[in-house]
Amino acid sequence: MSCFAQKRQPSSNEFACTAKAAASFRPPRTTTIDHHMRRLNEQIGIDFLSDMLDDDFVSHYLVAFSQTELSNENVLFLVAVRSYEKKLNENIAGALQLANCIFEDHLQPGSPLEIGVTPKQRHYIEDFLFKWNASGKDMPPRPPKGLFASPYRSVYRTVAFDIIPRFRLSIHCKELSKLHLSRTLTFERCRDLLLPAFSEYEREIVDFWLSTNRFETEYTALASGWPTSSTVEIAVGVLKTHYETIGKLISAEQLAQLQRKSVEAPLDLFKVPMLAALNALCAPYETFLHSPSSASFLAFLNVSLIIRQAPAPFPCKDPTGYTAGW
């Protein structure tokens, strides 16, 4: 047959069967990384591992998921080091105690949550902590801010490229996207069930978060990119109304910077205090979730809790006995 021969056309019966099959075909409902991350980004607004670790509620779910894979030592190490970095700016004695705990739990050979580090990395940190403990509670000669930087970078890559992709596919991620406060607080029914369990100060934090969330969702800007005058007025009004609450959530330097930027009213103006507000509500919120009074709340969201209790940031065995054998 010639290659230019006319191609046979399907009969009417064949065409009808093909059309019927095509009409009845439905693509399988698969769970993909894109599906979960789109859901997570839409409802939580978290894109990167660093942001996930900054959010206490999210990090608890990440720790719980890593426990199911027996890889929680990596996530707990990241959380502990970030806590150490924050404590270093607040309390040197507390930072030293935290550094000792991190070494005992994650770097000491045979420790319960030991991570993979080179002997050179371990000896450097061990020697530095020995000098720091010997000098008392004062700041050692070299600034210890990057004390755990080298193992942190390697563990961060492991979590970002190995654990996070599977976490995004997990039921933990799905439940997180339903229960995160940035979603549940937007439902009036959820607020009616949740707010009675909060203290007066915690309800003030909720009012502040709702105001800032409204500022972001109703944000309008000119074609030039600058916010409209009404948007600036809303930003200034939120800052004025909730000034005391914001002052309790962030540092004085951050509050002063917020005041300076309020006249420009960028979209991310309240990003830092909003995250601080959610973290401040995390503990009472988790207490509520694991109480009998949360039954109606969970039923409304159609959620069955995976995490039965919030995991501790990291288990420190004996923070005062680190140098006992020296």
Parent domain of 119: 33-179
Sign, CA torsion 89/49/60/254: positive
Instruction: Give how many domains the chain has, as a whole number.
Output: 2
Statement to judge: residues 162 and 219 lie in one domain: no
Q: Is residue 246 part of a domain?
A: yes
Statement to judge: residues 191 and 167 lie in one domain: no
Statement to judge: residues 175 and 186 lie in one domain: no
Statement to judge: residues 191 and 255 lie in one domain: yes
Residue 97 has pLDDT above 80, yes or no: yes
Statement to judge: residues 70 and 108 lie in one domain: yes
Residue 196 has pLDDT above 90, yes or no: yes
Confidence band for 44, pLDDT divided at 50, 70 and 90: very low
Statement to judge: residues 283 and 270 lie in one domain: yes
Identify the H or E element spanning 21: helix 12-24
Q: Is residue 23 part of a domain?
A: no
Residue 259 has pLDDT above 80, yes or no: yes
pLDDT reported for residue 279: 94
Lowest-confidence region among 18-22, 44-48, 200-204: 18-22
Statement to judge: residues 42 and 173 lie in one domain: yes
As a whole number, mean pLDDT of residues 208-226 equals: 91
Q: Is residue 288 part of a domain?
A: yes
Q: Is residue 14 part of a domain?
A: no
Q: How far apart are CA 246 and CA 143, in angstroms?
A: 30
Q: Is residue 166 part of a domain?
A: yes
Confidence band for 142, pLDDT divided at 50, 70 and 90: low
Q: What is the pLDDT of residues 263-303, one digit of tens each?
A: 889 999 999 999 999 999 999 999 999 888 898 999 999 88
- Diameter over CA atoms, the chain: 94
Q: What 3-state DSSP class applies to 25?
A: coil
Residue 214 has pLDDT above 50, yes or no: yes
Q: Is residue 1 part of a domain?
A: no
Statement to judge: residues 185 and 275 lie in one domain: yes
Confidence band for 209, pLDDT divided at 50, 70 and 90: very high
Residue 112, phi then psi, degrees to nearest 5:
-65, -30
- For tokens 């210890």, the residue is 144
Q: How far apart are CA 216 and CA 30, in angstroms?
A: 33
As a whole number, mean pLDDT of residues 94-102 equals: 86
Q: How far apart are CA 298 and CA 301, in angstroms?
A: 5
pLDDT reported for residue 165: 86
Residue 124 has pLDDT above 80, yes or no: yes
Statement to judge: residues 174 and 198 lie in one domain: no
Going by the DSSP 8-state scheme, the letter that residue 263 receives in this structure is T
Statement to judge: residues 106 and 205 lie in one domain: no
As a whole number, mean pLDDT of residues 157-172 equals: 88
Going by the DSSP 8-state scheme, the letter that residue 279 receives in this structure is H
Encoded tokens for 245: 């609450």
Q: Is residue 241 part of a domain?
A: yes
Q: How far apart are CA 59 and CA 173, in angstroms?
A: 11
Statement to judge: residues 117 and 190 lie in one domain: no
pLDDT reported for residue 138: 56
pLDDT reported for residue 189: 93
Statement to judge: residues 201 and 160 lie in one domain: no
Confidence band for 27, pLDDT divided at 50, 70 and 90: very low
CATH no. for residue 129?
1.10.167.10
Of residues 37 and 160, the one with the higher pLDDT is 160
Q: Is residue 289 part of a domain?
A: yes
